[in-house]
Each structure stands twice: as structure tokens, then as C-alpha cells.
Amino acid sequence: MIHVDGVGVELGGTTVLEDATLDVEKGEFLALVGPNGAGKTTLLRTCNGLVTPDTGRVTVAGEDVATLSAKALGSRVATVPQETAFAFEFDVEDVVAMGRTPHRGRFEPSDSADREAVRAALERTDTARFADRSVDSLSGGERQRVVIARALAQETPALLLDEPTASLDINHQIRTLSLARELAAEGKAMIAAIHDLGLAARFCDTIAVLSGGRILAAGDPESVLTAETVESAFDVRVAVSTNPVTGTRTVTPLSDVPPDGRRVHVLGGDERTARVIGRLVEAGIEVTAGVLPAGDAALPTAQALASDIVTAPAFEPIPENRLAAAASLVEAADATVVAAPLDEANATLVERSQRAFALAGVDGHQNVTTIPERELLSALEPEEQSAHASSTRS
């Protein structure tokens, strides 16, 4: 439906898009993500004909958008811009009715099909209740929903959204992206520039990561939202994990505190372990982890952030060589953190170690010093570290 083929754009002598290539089919919802200035808005503007590419081309339903008239293009692509200003105090219903312009002649009055399209768009966006109000009297979030309704009334096979949730509260962010997801399921080709990586992973079929005008990666959220790709695009350390509620990717930015020589080994599994690993790394502590079974919820975070990991097959006895490798990491660490209830093999590692903290419901193990989680980082401050290590090794 929407095909972007080798598109390059220069604005004011600066390259803002370079060799961009994407395909979005009917029924597909693609998210464009990337830092400010990455080229997301420019790419959307080449798809709706507002920017003519210097190289390459964009086609919609097989037609080159650069060759289409405004009316012909308006019957194929609708756009929800990031910001919209109205020159006059139109009523909300009149604004939504503007979406019907590509379907009528210049002086042709609206008909029953136009009125039904407007009514349906108002209902789907929860804007029917203020249809008679001036658009200038609405809040920014309400006005954004009216603009989305206008695009829906346009009844095009392709819909472009530039930061559609930017001015919405969390309730309407979810409603808006749920609606976009429904529209894709009904057969529309959808492209949205989305700021929130977690929302993009939750609602979109595919994600394209842009940086410096280039597409760094494109594909399903699981393959695209990796720590390596996100860090390259946004120039920030991140922890990538799985949201335990939605089962989709979630990305957590971390501070840029460099490692300061302290090392902690983390035992346990599940989301609590992932959280502890993230907090330690953010505080500038080198982390090792394991034994972690394949498929454990903490594994993606450990793979992204830990300097060394011991893994083992799931649902099988942990081989002795894996236990020995983990025991070596325990001995090399300044402390070992028990982040979650342990299986038998990891409990054995605790019994072998004289330096462990229990953080979450792990009781009854010998040689485990229990402290509250909030005291963990302060307990590992450099000035306290030597005394603390000595006391836990006794």
C-alpha cells in the first residue's frame, strides 16, 4: 500500500533523510521511532506529498504521490499532524466535515454519505459530545482528537499520524492507539511517529528506528527494540525487558554513571531480578548474574547490562560446570544479591557463599545477611564496602 523506495531529502542544504526504504501493507501498523531531528516528521511529509524527495519516491496504492493532485492524494492518504491551528472559530463538527473535501466537487454540497462519515468519526473519537462547540474552546488533547476525527472522516486506505498521543493524557493515549490498532485490523495502512517506545511495541506490528535521517532497523518490535539499536539511536544506556502485563517490549533509560570498580553478582530470576540488575547498573556497579534459565524474564535485561552471565537450559537440572561458573562469579564479586526466591541450584550457590543479601522473600538460607532493598546501594558505597565485605565473609 505505502512504499518508500530509497528516499532522500535535503532541506536548507542539510540531509534530513537518506536512502529511506519502507513497505507498509494494508492491515499493518508501523511506528516510526527515534530522537528529535531523526527525520520522522519529514518521512511522514514525503508520504503525504508535502515534501518532494530529492532521490527515490513514495507510492501509495501504486501511484507516485509526487504526481497526484491534492484531491487525488487526499482520497488515498489522511494525515494527523503534530500541531494544528485553525484560522477561524469553526465548530467541531465543521472541522470534522473538512475531511470530506476530497470526496466532493468544489461547490458540491454534502450528502448523506458525507454526514454519516462525519457522525461515525465523531463517535469513534469520543468527540460527538462537543460537536457544536467551537474548536478554540477545547483543550489541546480534545482538539487533537477532533483532528483525528477529521482524518477518519476522510475515509482513506492509508493514515499517517505524527505524534498522535503527544498532548493526550494516559487514558486517551491508550484509546487513540487502540483505535489506530483497530483501524489497521480493518485494513488500513497505518504509519505513526511515536515517542513512547513501550507504546509503540504494544500497539504496532512493526517498528522502524530512525537516527540522523537513516533507518537503523525495521521489523517486529522484538527484533528491533534491542539495547544495541536503541542505544545507538538515542545515545543513552537502556535496559530492554518484557512487560509482565502486556508481554511486549519495554525500554528503560539508565543514567550514564560509569562503572566504578564495584561488582555485585545477582541470583534469582523474574522481573524483580531484572529490576535489581537495572538499579545496580544505573548506580555505576558492575553486575554479573546467573544461573539464569533460558526464557527467564530477567534474561534480556541481564544480557543487555551484565558484564557476565551464566545461563542454563530451562526445566532441566543445571549442569555442574554451569554451577561452577556461577560460583566463580560469586567469589569474584564484592557481594552477592539474592533478588528473588531461588530454585534448588541457585540456593546451593547461596549456601556456598558467605556474602549475600536477601531482598525479596528469601529466608531460611544460612550465610545470608538480610537487608531492605532500599539500603542496598548505600550499603555498597565505597567507604563502607571494605568493612561490609569483611563482615559478610565471616
What region does 261 belong to: left with phi over 0, alpha with psi -120 to 50, or beta? left
Of the candidates 46, 43, 77, the one whose C-alpha atom is nearest the C-alpha of residue 60 is 77
Instruction: Tell whether 240 and 283 lie within a shared domain.
Output: no
For the domain that residue 316 is a member of, what is the CATH number?
Answer: 3.40.50
- The amino acid present at 102, given as its one-letter code, is P
> Would you say residue 25 lies in a domain?
yes
Which runs of consecutive H residues, i.e. helices, occur in the chain?
40-47, 70-74, 92-97, 112-124, 140-153, 170-185, 197-203, 221-224, 227-234, 270-282, 299-305, 320-332, 344-352, 376-379, 382-393
159/277 same-domain check: no
pLDDT at 353: 61
196: left (phi over 0), alpha (psi -120 to 50) or beta: beta
Examine residue 255 and state whether it is found in any structural domain, yes or no. Answer: no
Q: Give the domain-ending residue among 214, 246, 278.
A: 246
Residues in the chain: 394
Whether 207 and 233 map to the same domain: the answer is yes
Say if residue 231 is in the same domain as residue 82. yes
Same domain, 87 and 208: yes
159 and 190 in a single domain? The answer is yes
Residues in the chain where the model's pLDDT stays below 50: 356-373, 382-394
Cβ atoms of residues 322 and 292 within 8 Å? no
DSSP 259: P
In a domain, 150, yes or no: yes
C-alpha 142/C-alpha 121 separation (Å) is 14
Asked whether residue 109 falls in the same domain as residue 202, the answer is yes
CA distance 179 to 361: 41
Under 8 Å between Cβ of 180 and 168 = no
Domain boundary among 212, 246, 280: 246
229 and 87 assigned to the same domain: yes
Q: Which domain holds residue 314?
A: 263-393
- Express as a percent the part of the chain with pLDDT over 90: 44
User: Is 258 domain-assigned?
Assistant: no
Rg, the chain, Cα only: 27
Q: Answer yes or no: are the C-beta atoms of 33 and 23 closer than 8 Å.
A: no
Residues 47 and 125 in one domain: yes
- pLDDT value at position 366? 41
Is residue 248 within 8 A of residue 242, CB to CB? The reply is yes
Residues 124 and 9 in one domain: yes
Q: Calculate ∠ Cα 262-264-267, nearest 5°.
A: 175
Question: Domain boundary at 193, 211, 246, which?
Answer: 246
Does residue 321 sit within a domain?
yes
Do residue 388 and residue 314 come from a single domain?
yes
Q: Do 214 and 283 belong to one domain?
A: no
The answer for residues whose C-beta is within 8 angstroms of residue 239's C-beta and 6 or more apart is 227, 251, 252, 254, 274, 277, 278, 281, 301, 304, 305
Into how many domains does the chain fold?
2
Residue 104 lies in a domain: yes
Burial class (CB in 10 A: 0-12, 13-18, 19+), 323: buried
Quick: pLDDT tens for 161-204. Answer: 999 887 778 888 898 899 999 999 999 999 999 999 999 999 99
pTM of the model: 0.75
We report the CATH number of the domain holding residue 191 as 3.40.50.300
pLDDT at 307: 87
Q: 333: which DSSP letter?
A: S
Residue 251 in any domain: the answer is no
